[in-house]
Amino acid sequence: MKSYFEQNDKVLSSHHMLLSLVDIAKQRGVLPDVLLKGSKIFYSDLLREPLKISSEQLQKVVLNSIKLLPQGDVAFLLGRRLFPSHLGNTGNALMNCRHLADMVRVIQTQQIPLFPLLFMTIKRHKQQHFFAFNQSLTTLDTRYYHFLCEVLASALVCAIKWRLGYLPKLCFTFPYAEPDYIEQYQVNLGSDISFLNSVTQQPLQISIKSDDLYLRFCDHNQSLKRHYLNLNSSLLPCNQKAQAVGLIQYILHFIDKNNSATLEQVASSLLISTATLKRKISAHQSSYQQIIDQYKQQQAMFDITTLGLNNDKVANKLKFSDTTNFRRSFKRWTGMTPNELRQCYITNKGLTD
């Protein structure tokens, strides 16, 4: 059993997003087979048995839906429907959590059944939690990536509203330019939304006051929560400790755990040759160096803009041999030096326009 999946591996459950997408399109007057055109999925098969689909197939359907229903609300509607009924046991487990922090723990362990295509990393600073979401596979079409971000954000807002009864202050930073249908973001996600279009390779970031994470919900049940989580882990094949994650996610995790990991080390942990790994990464239109750069760039951006660290400390943290080297790399990643970036944040409060 592989410990990773790629674009064309059929690992995603069809009921997770596809069925709702078909349903929404049907409600808007689009025939299911028109929506599924070109994805090699047939509506009759979807109804017959639970299917597994690949990210590639989902991308085709999502792009079809964007073309057929261009108002931009589909992703948000989909996100609203996701929680909790389409999430199976994990949804039930989430419904029995004590508070948001408890839900975050479940989300971390249950990423694959919940949202296999984006994964979360958490940082804390000054009574504020920062959740960063990166792609577990590099999606080749940006519209598909935006769609996934919208679904995730809308599902999170819906879940928080449902469990807490109201929406606490959340700040969203989307790593792309403001879309035409900004009204969908405003209405579905609240008013604290910014778009980061001058620097690429950043994650979708959501921040919340740390105190809000520990507001206790009216109803919760720890034993039920454990029960549903046990049901989930009993579904795993017995020879496997954890579920497969996206290839890029696997590599980013590996880099995070083993500082200055080489391509050879990653390949050997995946039980494949370096040449094969290289080929697989380039099929994602990326390279190992790009993945490492993305990792370091994100760390550096956060350390500089949010933590306010100086160049020496950041360079040291990221294991650069000296600060000049770090400054040069940073300029290559973002098009500006660390000091120019700091100036940006001092003068106009960020890179958003």
Binding site for another protein (CB under 8 A): 23-24, 27-29, 71, 73, 76-77, 80-81, 99, 101, 158, 161-162, 164-167, 180-184, 186-188, 190-191, 211, 214-218
Extract the tokens encoding 7: 């674009």
Cα gap 278→273, rounded to integer Å = 9
Residues contacting 48, CB < 8 A, separation 6+: none
Of 161 and 227, CB closest to another protein: 161
Judge contact between 6 and 283, C-beta under 8 A.
yes
Work out how close the CB of 182 gets to another protein at its nearest, in angstroms, rounded to a whole number: 8
The DSSP call for residue 203 is: P
Cα gap 283→138, rounded to integer Å = 9
Judge contact between 100 and 163, C-beta under 8 A.
yes
Work out how close the CB of 64 gets to another protein at its nearest, in angstroms, rounded to a whole number: 17
Work out how close the CB of 70 gets to another protein at its nearest, in angstroms, rounded to a whole number: 9
Judge contact between 147 and 66, C-beta under 8 A.
yes
Buried b (16+ CB within 10 A) or exposed e, 220-237: eeeeebeebbeebeeeee
Of 218 and 238, CB closest to another protein: 218
Buried b (16+ CB within 10 A) or exposed e, 166-180: eeeebebbbbbeeee
Work out how close the CB of 184 gets to another protein at its nearest, in angstroms, rounded to a whole number: 5
Work out how close the CB of 129 gets to another protein at its nearest, in angstroms, rounded to a whole number: 12
Of 194 and 316, CB closest to another protein: 194
Work out how close the CB of 134 gets to another protein at its nearest, in angstroms, rounded to a whole number: 26
Of 146 and 296, CB closest to another protein: 146
Of 49 and 180, CB closest to another protein: 180
Sign of the Cα pseudo-torsion (240, 244, 247, 251, in order) = negative
Could you give the dihedral angle defined by the CA atoms of residues 25, 27, 29 and 34, in that order, rounded to the nearest 10 degrees?
Answer: 30
Work out how close the CB of 148 gets to another protein at its nearest, in angstroms, rounded to a whole number: 19
Of 85 and 240, CB closest to another protein: 85
Work out how close the CB of 211 gets to another protein at its nearest, in angstroms, rounded to a whole number: 5
Of 212 and 293, CB closest to another protein: 212
Of 191 and 347, CB closest to another protein: 191
| Nearest to 298, CA basis, from 252, 348, 262 | 252
Of 43 and 217, CB closest to another protein: 217
Work out how close the CB of 117 gets to another protein at its nearest, in angstroms, rounded to a whole number: 24
Residue with tokens 């390949």, as numbered in its chain: 267
Extract the tokens encoding 179: 């879309």
Residue with tokens 């990536």, as numbered in its chain: 145
Cα gap 72→77, rounded to integer Å = 10
Extract the tokens encoding 47: 């109804």
| Nearest to 35, CA basis, from 3, 6, 8, 62 | 62
